Structures are given as structure tokens and as C-alpha cells.
Structure 1
Amino acid sequence: MDTAPAYHPGSLAVQERVGVRDLADHVGRSIGAGIKPVAAAFLELQPMLVLGAADAEGDVWSSLLTGAPGFVRATGPARISIAGGLPEGDPLDGAFDGGAPVGTIALDPRTRRRMRLNGIASPSARGLAVEAGQVFANCPKYLQKRELYGAEPGARAGAVRRGRALGPAQERFIRAADTFFVATSAPDGVDASHRGGNPGFVRVVSPTELAWPDYQGNSMFLTLGNLEADGRAGLLFLDWSTGDTLQITGTARTEFGPEGRTTYVRIQQTVESEGASPLRWSAPDYSPANPPLDEGAQWAE
């Protein structure tokens, strides 16, 4: 099978720089356009989905959607339906009215499994429909295990605060995070991915800049490749116990050093939403793959 369409020049450039082109070609064979039965079954069990896209101004965001299992389901060999669409006031609300590129990731902390589906999203009678262009799974590396306590009865979203820089409470929230989601854009579409590590793996450089180490992964370099080609990024942090979310949009760059790679994001806008998710999760069982911070946090200053 020809794997060339799996990668654009940005990803190819990073793969060449790191010396993993052959491995990336091998791994790229897992990327397909169809939704296999096992993937369809996985999607129907999920109570949450993260999607990434650009808003009307071109800023890239990651947004969280939730619902009873079945709210995301395959409706064809290369099509999914998402019930309800985006919450009112979300930065991406209205972004798909005329159809637009989207990246999605379904991540299940209960089983430490994840699936990514990228394509074109448009409004549907049910909410949103996505025509898939890329479908693939990832390994459980750096994914924390959590149990789902359930959805809080009658939970409603609370206050929404917008800003241009992080406040002290938001900085503490990020420093305590063991997981976040990141959406990136490139000429061939949008991708939504996951980053995980022990708390502290994301560093607050300043109220307008974050940084994190790029841990060894599957060698595709889809996220870093997109940033090489474009630079726009949308981050989503979730408080798994309260449902609060913090969304960030900005521009990113990756620094390559002898000890590793570090990604920096310059923050342009923030959106903090109280109780955005009704789901309540347990404390994490950290992934055994998480590097200790003294080994994994290889900051390129």
C-alpha cells in the first residue's frame, strides 16, 4: 500500500531530521480512510470526543464534546455522526457551518485506548457529520488510566472567562496537569492529538508561554510536522474531577537539541469554562511509560 499521502512535507522534514523516515513509512501503513468494525464499536462506547479546527479568524482550538455512549457513532464506512454538536459559546461554535477540516480524537482512560479520525465536518440533523480522510489508532504510551464515576446529574456549564494571558490559578492548573490535547493544522487538514506525562511535564514559562518535552512516540511526527508547516495550535486542559476546561490558542515552535525536543506555545487567547464536562473521573493511575521529570523534562532554553 502506498503510504505517501499519510505525510505532508512538514512531517517528512521532521522525520528526516530525527532519522526515522523508514520507521515512519512502516507505521504510516496503519493510516486508512475507512472505519473498521472494531473502530466503530470503540467509538460507540465513548462518552467524550475531542475535536480540533480553526475558527472564523483562523485560530486553531481544541474543544471537548460529551454525551451518553452512542453520541458518536459510525454511520458509514468513512463517516461518523456526532449528536448535539458544539456547546454554545465554544470557540468553534459555527466553525463548520459551511464544512471545514477537522481532527478528532476519542480517548478512553478506562482502557488506555485512543483513536484519531481526521476529515471534513459539516452540520447534520443530529449535530455534526464528519467524512473521514484519515483513521488510525495509537499505542497507550503516556496515557493515564482513570475510572469513570459517571455523569453528574443535572450538571450545567458555569461561568466562561476569556483572556489573553494565564492567571495564577490557571498556571497552577496547567502545572498539575498530566494530560492535555493539542490540535494542529497543515495544508492537508487538521489533526487532534494527546500529550501525557507526570504532573509538571508542562512548564509555564510565563503567563503567555508554555513548553513541554516531546517524548519518544510512534515516529509519525504528525503534530510536530504540522507545526513545522503552519505553527497554529489549540490546546485543551481538562480537570477530570470537576469537568472544568481551559482552552488555549496560539502559535508554536519546536526546538531541537542534543538532549531532545521541546515545543513552545505563545498564547494568544484563553477560554476557561466551569463545569464544561458533566463527566467525573477518578484520580489517575499514571502510565508506566511516563519519564521521570528529571529525565523527561529536557528543556531547550
Structure 2
Amino acid sequence: MANSGWSYEASPFHAGELAIQARLGVQERLDRQGRRMIRDYLPEQHRQFFAQLSYVLVGTVDSHGQPWASILVGQPGFITSPDERRLHLAAPPLYGDPLHRTLAVGADIGLLGIELHTRRRNRLNGTLSALQPDGFTVTVGQSFGNCPQYIQARRFDWRAFDAAAPKPVRFFEALEEGERAIVAAADTFFIATAHRSAGSASGVDVSHRGGKPGFVRMDDARRFTIPDFAGNFHFNTFGNLELNPRAGLVFIDFDRGDLLYLTGTAKVIWDGPEIAAYEGAERLLRFSVSHGYRVSGSLPLTWSAPEFSPFLDNTGPWKLKG
């Protein structure tokens, strides 16, 4: 297949994304850009990239309409592409991961293929078209690359691991000290969102967010605020939130291998003096936790210390009050 872009008359962006692009005066430019770079199939470069990965982020929605962000792990080659319109992922969900409850044929799904050590990432939104004993297959709806901004470079290695062994799981509705420490120290997390079509969740997306340690400000035990920096103006995440305020987050404790899964609602703060309190932020995202859980020692990977993104040089810490 020729490496063509978006071939449909309708925009590659949905109503929520278009509304934000119009509000910020970038819709016409983004329409041209989106038609060049967004495709309804996997270019050969993307097929090869997914095939070399050892982990991929996954966004799904549960039976209550709540998005969840997950991470799926396997040896390189666990993701294959039978053809340019399908990806097969041959790995079981990690112990306690939301994917144990959310994978279903016909469900919308979002994938983020990311290599932290090279800062490469590719997005795929599609439909779960088949469940097999070794995994599941996704049919491509949209496929596109992302820039390397705000990604902290980390190398990984495998550690001794029994995937079938139970891990400690703590369910909560408010973050306690251990969970708050993970959030407060984070320089990376992933967010899943979904827009609504005909009253149901659809068009699931999962996205990366990065910043200096402490860029996620804990407001209280159930709410925190995150700065949003200049990006590609697609507004995939914020466009979904424009139509549906529900969101799911996953934080990785890179030292312990713990995974912190959260779901709740998110609100975008577009203007006001609060934004100026964080150097480099263009807007803020305020997340309210409905519930979540922490799985201890869940991730079978060990990580190097981060090499912080040079794009963070012009961002700063929260200004202290008083």
C-alpha cells in the first residue's frame, strides 16, 4: 500500500477535538496536518516498531463506562502485525490489571507503543476484533506517530518473575500515604479517555504525560492537578474530555515495579491565574479519583535512572504559597 494519509472526506478528528482546535484557532492547520499523518492502517515503519517492543500501554473502558489505562508486557515479538490493518498482542494481562475485566470482542481500544529509552511513540485507536487463548487482535481505526516531547528516557531490563503468582492488591477510594508518594514523585504517567457516540463510550485513546518530578500536584487525597504543556494540537485526550469527563490513569513506580491504577473524572482549566503558578503550562488538568488500586511488584521490568527530556527545561515547579 502506498504511504497515503487520511483518505476520507470527513475529518480524522472527532467533534470534541475539532471544538478545541477551533477555540484555539488551529483547526484549519490541523486538518491539513491530520490528513497527512493519520492513517486507517499501519505503515510498515509502525508495524516494525510495534514488533520490537517489550511493553505497550492499553486504554479500555469497563462495563460502567469508566476508562482504565493498562500496561501489557512481553518479550520482543509478542506484538505482530498479520497485515497492515491488524495487530495481534500475545501476552496475558499482568496480575490485577483492568484488562482482565475490560477485554471484549467489539470493544473500542487504544494502544500507545512507546520506547522510553529512544523516546519513540506511535498511537493506534481501533476495535478489539478477536480474543484468542494467547491474547487478542486489534483492527486499526487510526494510526499515527507522536513527537518525543516530555518523555523521560529510561532503559529497562527483565527481572525474575512469576507472572501467575498473586501479588498484593490494595483497593481504595482515597489515596493513602503509599499511593500519594507514587503520584507526588512521578515524572511520567499515562491517561486513557474515551469520547461518546450514541450514548456509549467509544474512540478510546491512551496518552503519555511527562514532567519534572512533582509536576503532579496533590491537592488532597482524592484530587490532583497536572500542568499541560505545548504539544501537537491534536488534543486527543482533551477532545475526549470535551465530550466525556471520565478518565483512567496508570502510574508506574519505576523503583519497586508497583502499578497504580486510577479511574475518575477530569476537568480542563483553560484560563485563569492558577495556570500562571506553573512555569511553561498552557492549561491545567484536574483529576478527581473515583476509585483505584495498587498492585505491588506487578511489573517484571527494572529501570535505569531517568534522563529528563530537554523540553522540560522551560517548565518549572509549583510556586509555594505564602
Pick the aligned partner of 2:18 from 12, 15, 18: 12
Task: With the length of structure 1 as denominator, give the TM-score of the two structures.
Answer: 0.93
User: Would you say 1:167 and 2:176 are equivalent positions?
Assistant: yes
Aligned residue for 1:269? 291
Question: What amino acid is aligned across from residue 175 of structure 1 in structure 2?
Answer: A
Partners in 2 of 1:127 and 1:55 — Cα distance?
A: 18
Partners in 2 of 1:3 and 1:175 — Cα distance?
A: 45
Aligned residue for 2:250? 236
Unaligned regions of 5+ residues in structure 1, if any? none
Alignment of 1:62-101 (within 5 A): 62-101=69-108
Aligned residue for 1:279? 301
Which stretch of the first structure deviates more once superposed, 130-139 or 181-190? Answer: 181-190
Q: 1:25-58, CA deviations, whole angstroms, 9 ceiling, x for partnerless residues?
A: 2331211111111111111111101101111222
Pick the aligned partner of 2:223 from 206, 209, 212: 209
Task: With the length of structure 2 as denominator, give the TM-score of the two structures.
Answer: 0.87
Question: What amino acid is aligned across from residue 33 of structure 2 in structure 1?
Answer: V
Q: How far 1:110 moved relative to its partner?
A: 1.5
User: Would you say 1:142 and 2:150 are equivalent positions?
Assistant: yes
What secondary structure sits across from 2:310 in the alignment? coil
Q: 1:204 to 1:229 in 2, by over 3 A?
A: same
* CA RMSD between the two structures: 1.9
Q: 1:61-86, CA deviations, whole angstroms, 9 ceiling, x for partnerless residues?
A: 00111010111121211100111232
Pick the aligned partner of 1:25 from 15, 27, 31: 31
Unaligned regions of 5+ residues in structure 2, if any? 1-6, 197-201, 277-281
1:213–1:298 Cα contact (<8 Å) kept? no
Q: 1:22 to 1:80 in 2, by over 3 A?
A: same
Partners in 2 of 1:112 and 1:52 — Cα distance?
A: 20
Pick the aligned partner of 2:210 from 192, 196, 214: 196
What secondary structure sits across from 1:41 in the alignment? helix
Q: 1:154-203, CA deviations, whole angstroms, 9 ceiling, x for partnerless residues?
A: 35562011110101121111111110000000135100110001111111
User: Would you say 1:37 and 2:65 are equivalent positions?
Assistant: no
Q: Give the number of equivalent residue pairs.
A: 297
Partners in 2 of 1:185 and 1:271 — Cα distance?
A: 21
Alignment of 1:208-227 (within 5 A): 208-227=222-241
